[in-house]
Structure 1
Amino acid sequence: MATTTMQAMTPQQLTKKILANEEVFILDVRNTSEFDNWKIDGGKTEILNIPYFDLLDGVDEALDKIPNGKDILVVCAKEGSSIFVAEQLVEAGRMNIHYLKGGMKAWSEYLEPVKVGDLKDGGELFQFVRIGKGCLSYMVLSGGEAATIDTLRMTEVFEQFANDKGAKIKHTLDTHLHADHISGGRMLAEKTGATYWLPPKDATEVIFEYEPLEEGREITVGKSKIRIQPIYSPGHTIGSTSFIVDDQYLLSGDILFVESIGRPDLAGKAEDWVADLRTTLYETYKDLSEDLIVLPAHFGKATELGEGGRVSARLGDLFKSNPGLNIASDEEFRSTVTENLPPQPNAYQEIRQTNMGRMSPNEEEQREMEMGPNRCAVHDK
């Protein structure tokens, strides 16, 4: 139903529209450099960038670029500029005008829980899609207990979800020491009394206590003893560890994505770790069941979002379709993963230091550190 009044659209509402392939026209009024670095995409969204300062004197010259008959969403960094422009569009007689509540900062932090599937002996596995940044977290639920993997810093989302499911969080695990976002695993463990697990080879500089996540250890969740079996899989970091959950799912961290593979350079060790990355992908993963469903810690493009927003793929299918798993020679692989790299994540060194416990930025500083897309993959553009 068309309306001539301006309305707020929440990140959750926008996510639902994108996943349902509803048409949305986005007018992004941030500076061009910010827009070029990071923007909203996916579904049937169309997007136009006209900087706010070009619209201060009115929107008349922009009206012919903005379609009629579609939901129009005005976007800025925090919200204020988008409200100003949206009000002008309403005054110009345009219909169905919205602004993104909380701006791109809120978009960056929204998590959409998506059910991956049921577990064999009872329980469920959920994926939390951070659609604005491309991060993926997981929760295993069974017998009134829960474990979270690659928890994000918005820990209240995980607490509330577990509470709604009648589960107590017993374990939080990180597949590796993250460099593109601040981990919430340790904080969530402290808040809930859970055990925090981290690969020891990634923890040589941390200044807090943790449970070493080593190959051969099994972590159980609930009465049905859902098995989380860690597999040492270095390459993205020296300690990177994958998980096999319930003999069905391979949580690959930042080693393997749906359309790309992990980058080995975020600790400054690309030349040293490239051989580890190839061994993990071409030998360790090759020896696993082809029927395992790969669940990565990130996605790079909206095209990787599947049904309901879920990001997943069968391992055997990835060995056929993923370009990073089909590089013939060691030499070509080395050049691909050391030379064909996107820019490094925003503030990645500070994020690593924070995840080691060596920095304690406040909430607003953490938001600023994480702004922008994830850049953990080799083939992302």
Structure 2
Amino acid sequence: MAAGAHLRGMTARQVARIVLDREPLFILDVRNEGDYSDWKIEGERVASINIPYFDLLDGVEVALGKIPTEDRVLVACAKEGSSKFVAEQLIKAGRGDVYYLEGGMKSWSEHLEPVKIGDLKQGGALYQFVRLGKGCLSYMIVSGGEAAVVDTVRLTEVYCSFAAQKGARIRHAIDTHLHADHISGGRKLAEQVGATYWLPPKDADEVVFDYAKLEDGAEIAVGDARIKIEAVYSPGHTIGSTSFVVDDQYLLTGDILFLESIGRPDLAGKADDWIENLRNTLYKRYTELPEELLVLPAHFGKITELGEDGSVRARLGDLYAKNPGLNMPDEAEFRRAVKEHPPQYPNSYQEIRQTNMGIIQPAEERQREMEIGPNRCAVHDK
């Protein structure tokens, strides 16, 4: 064993800070090849290799020659146990500065990192919660001792804790649409804190619970400063997809518009019906909005979409200049791009949709399993 070396864990939060701070990290991922190919930890200065756990049971010599000596090494597996074993064997073989991922890739999938987007004109601020391991983005608007959360993920304790730190009571939980790639925590959060849960009614035909109808032009006030959240009906990803203009500064686009891509219309099996809606939203409705609005989507597809501060944002006018999905003047070309090369479906997406409708209530561990893997809500994500 390397002198002074001992087995150490690294939390998902610590990994997130390494990624966001663009520090070097080398990862030995010991999951099976298929899981690694499907989804892994990525970062600007993160490098990784995959050697399945069962190939290392008889010794880690095969890994030693592939691990750089100058960087920290993180061993990752699905739940934790395999990575602890391999990390310990690497240390015994003389390799120092080795860690295992606490909680495994499940913990990575669930970590949320809050980033301040900006101040509101009458006081308060808007925050983005970056779920690095899943590509999900959610938001909290805080003003005058009140808060609204948009596109809440199921990890509701994070929002409750953050709101408490800001001295705010969560009054509204809002979903831009019925999600299919992750389990919404909006209704759960509303029940926990006594808030109102908002959902577009055109996405709610099959839901089995009560909700407040989020319709075009609806305004939701937050705090004494009366920060306005204005609903903008923007169908295409789903028939009910609704965007928000917040404080005349920010445009929360849900899964309709991303920084490098556009939303896919096929997760409810209605691509043919919804492609025209998608085009109308992107090529008509959004063009009527001010170009200076800061676009804040509900997902990102690539780690390169994160800015220097770790946030995902872009000016609406800039997206019209460079986003491929917004630069297809020929309608037939647009239709082909959306339909002919769709990305792989999200894992368990039909089961996730049913959960978000309230039709099924999977146990917590099953919910974690359903969400494992990358988001696949965009047309151009690979």
Give a deviation string over 1:342-367, Cα, whole Å, max 9, x none: 11000000000000000000100100
Equivalent-residue separation in structure 2 for 1:160 and 1:15 (angstroms): 19
Partner of 1:323: 324
> SS of the residue aligned with 1:171?
strand
> SS of the residue aligned with 1:147?
strand
| 8 Å Cα contact 1:3-1:96 kept in structure 2 | no
Q: State yes or no: 1:102 paired with 2:141.
A: no
Equivalent-residue separation in structure 1 for 2:24 and 2:127 (angstroms): 27
> SS of the residue aligned with 2:309?
helix
Q: State yes or no: 1:35 paired with 2:36.
A: yes
Partner of 2:269: 268
After the TM superposition, which of the residue ranges 337-346 and 198-207 deviates more from structure 2? 337-346
Equivalent-residue separation in structure 2 for 1:99 and 1:300 (angstroms): 26
Equivalent-residue separation in structure 1 for 2:303 and 2:340 (angstroms): 24
- Give the AA of the match of 1:380: D
> SS of the residue aligned with 1:160?
helix
Q: State yes or no: 1:209 paired with 2:183.
A: no
Give a deviation string over 1:51-71, Cα, whole Å, max 9, x none: 000000001122111110210
- Give the AA of the match of 1:280: T
Partner of 1:186: 187
Q: State yes or no: 1:90 paired with 2:91.
A: yes
Q: Which runs of 4+ in 1 moved over 4 A?
A: none
CA-CA distance at 1:43 after TM superposition: 2.2
- Quickly say closer, same or farther: Cα 1:58–1:193, change in 2 above 3 A: same
Equivalent-residue separation in structure 1 for 2:62 and 2:245 (angstroms): 56
Partner of 1:69: 70
CA-CA distance at 1:272 after TM superposition: 0.5
Partner of 2:345: 344
| 8 Å Cα contact 1:202-1:237 kept in structure 2 | yes
| Equivalent residues in 2 for 1:148-187, closer than 5 Å | 148-187=149-188
Q: State yes or no: 1:228 paired with 2:224.
A: no
| Equivalent residues in 2 for 1:239-278, closer than 5 Å | 239-278=240-279
Equivalent-residue separation in structure 1 for 2:150 and 2:97 (angstroms): 39
| 8 Å Cα contact 1:175-1:240 kept in structure 2 | yes
Relative to the length of structure 2, the TM-score reads: 0.99
Give a deviation string over 1:233-289, Cα, whole Å, max 9, x none: 000000000000000000000000001000000000001100000000010011110
Partner of 1:142: 143
| 8 Å Cα contact 1:146-1:221 kept in structure 2 | yes
Q: State yes or no: 1:371 paired with 2:372.
A: yes
- Give the AA of the match of 1:205: E
- Give the AA of the match of 2:152: T
Equivalent-residue separation in structure 2 for 1:187 and 1:61 (angstroms): 47
Equivalent-residue separation in structure 1 for 2:182 and 2:340 (angstroms): 23
Partner of 1:58: 59
Structure 1 unpaired stretches of 5+: none
CA-CA distance at 1:341 after TM superposition: 1.1
Equivalent-residue separation in structure 2 for 1:3 and 1:326 (angstroms): 58
Equivalent-residue separation in structure 2 for 1:38 and 1:177 (angstroms): 24
| 8 Å Cα contact 1:202-1:239 kept in structure 2 | yes
Give a deviation string over 1:40-92, Cα, whole Å, max 9, x none: 10120000000000000001122111110210000000000000000000001
- Give the AA of the match of 1:54: D
Equivalent-residue separation in structure 2 for 1:279 and 1:246 (angstroms): 24
Structure 2 unpaired stretches of 5+: none
Give a deviation string over 1:214-235, Cα, whole Å, max 9, x none: 0121100000000000000000
| 8 Å Cα contact 1:129-1:310 kept in structure 2 | yes
The number of residues matched between the two structures is 380
> SS of the residue aligned with 1:83?
helix
- Give the AA of the match of 1:187: K
Equivalent-residue separation in structure 2 for 1:171 and 1:307 (angstroms): 30
CA-CA distance at 1:308 after TM superposition: 2.0
Equivalent-residue separation in structure 2 for 1:13 and 1:81 (angstroms): 20
| 8 Å Cα contact 1:6-1:96 kept in structure 2 | no
CA-CA distance at 1:3 after TM superposition: 5.8
> SS of the residue aligned with 1:307?
coil
- Give the AA of the match of 1:14: V
Partner of 2:114: 113
Relative to the length of structure 1, the TM-score reads: 0.99
- Give the AA of the match of 2:236: G
Equivalent-residue separation in structure 2 for 1:287 and 1:188 (angstroms): 33
Partner of 1:9: 10
